Amino acid sequence: MLAAVTAPVPFSTRLWLAWVAYFRILFDGAFAARVLAAREGNLQPLQTPPPERPRTPAPTPLPEGPDPTAALVLLGLLQREGRLVDFLKQDITTFGDAEVGAAARVVHEGCRRALHGHIEMVPVRSEPEGEPVTLEAGFDPTSAKLTGAVGGSAPYRGVLRHRGWRAEQVSLPRPVGTGDATILAPAEVEL
């Protein structure tokens, strides 16, 4: 920026600039003040400086993510039982619905079995979806979420749109040995 200001300007540009500046100095008071300041060798930046930020304590780093091993074990399980990774990694745009549907059955069947075998899941709310429900004051905001015209105070009367899911019990396969958990599925070589 500074370099652009100090470099010599060619005559043709100077002629054009004088013409433009003449009218602007006449009609734009703020511009005239800055030109005056420049003429007195007292150049100010064009923009007003940003307001000073309120002082904050030293920034807290984001909490550590969970150990990825458990996620990899779960993904490996879903791939082994239900080919989930194969399904998600394949581009299915060119396949017909019948083909995608057939594959989805394999994935659904296997992943469902794997899920049932390892994670016991129950709905958060037992009422049927579409029924009116009331959330009393002090309800657990992580287990129920308000949507729509959110406001007012408890009790909150609304309609159950989604029952939610809660994992009651999780029993993942436990890693043993020195295996590499990042191998979700080994390559297969048939002899």
Partner 1 sequence: MSGPRHVVGIDLGTTHTALAAAPVDDEAAAAAVERIAQLVTTTTVEERPLLPSCVYFAHETEAALAIPWDRTRRHAVGEYARSRGAEAPQRVVASAKSWLSHQGIDRRADLLPLGAPPDVEKISPVQATWHYLDHLAESWGTRHPGAPLAEQEIVITVPASFDAAARDLTVEAAYAAGLENTSLLEEPQAALYAWIATHGTDWRKHLSVGDVILVVDLGGGTTDFSAIAVREEDGSLELRRIAVGDHILLGGDNMDLALAHLVSRKLAAEGTELDRWQLTALTHGCRNAKEKLLAQPDLGSVPVVVPGRGSQLLDGARRSELTRAEVEAALIEGFFPRVAATARPGGRQRAALTQLGLPYAADAGITRHLAAFLTRQAAAAAELGAPAGTLLRPTHVLFNGGVTKAPAFRDRLLAILNDWLANDGAPPVKVLPGEDPDLAVARGAAYFALVRRGRGLRIRGGTARAYYVGIESPMPAVPGMETPVNALCVAAFGVEEGSPAEILPQELCAVVGESVRFRFFASSVRRADRAGTELERWGADELEELAPIEVTLPAEGRTDGDLVPVHLASSVTAIGTLLLEAVPLEPAKPDERWKVELGVRGDTEEV
Site for partner 1 contains 90 (CB under 8 A): yes
Rg (CA), the chain: 33
- Distances, alpha carbon 181 to alpha carbons 76, 110, 117, in Å: 9, 21, 20
DSSP string, 38-73: HHTT----SSPPPPPPPP-PSPPPPPPPPPHHHHHH
Between 105 and 162, name the residue whose CB sits nearer to partner 1: 105
Strand partners, 123: 165
Site string for partner 1, 104-123 (x = CB under 8 A): -xxx-x--------------
Candidate list 9, 38, 102, 121; residue touching partner 1; CB under 8 A: 102
Site string for partner 1, 8-47 (x = CB under 8 A): ----------------------------------------
Site for partner 1 contains 174 (CB under 8 A): yes
Least distance to partner 1, CB of residue 163, Å: 24
Least distance to partner 1, CB of residue 83, Å: 5
∠ CA 80-187-109, nearest 5°, is: 20
Candidate list 73, 124, 135, 144; residue touching partner 1; CB under 8 A: 73
List CB contacts of 155: < 8 A, sequence separation 6 or more.
134, 135, 136, 137
Which position has the token pair 């309800």? Answer: 139
Task: Please give the residue ranges that form the binding site for partner 1 (CB under 8 A).
Answer: 73, 76, 80, 83, 86-87, 89-90, 92, 95, 98-100, 102-103, 105-107, 109, 171, 173-181, 185, 188
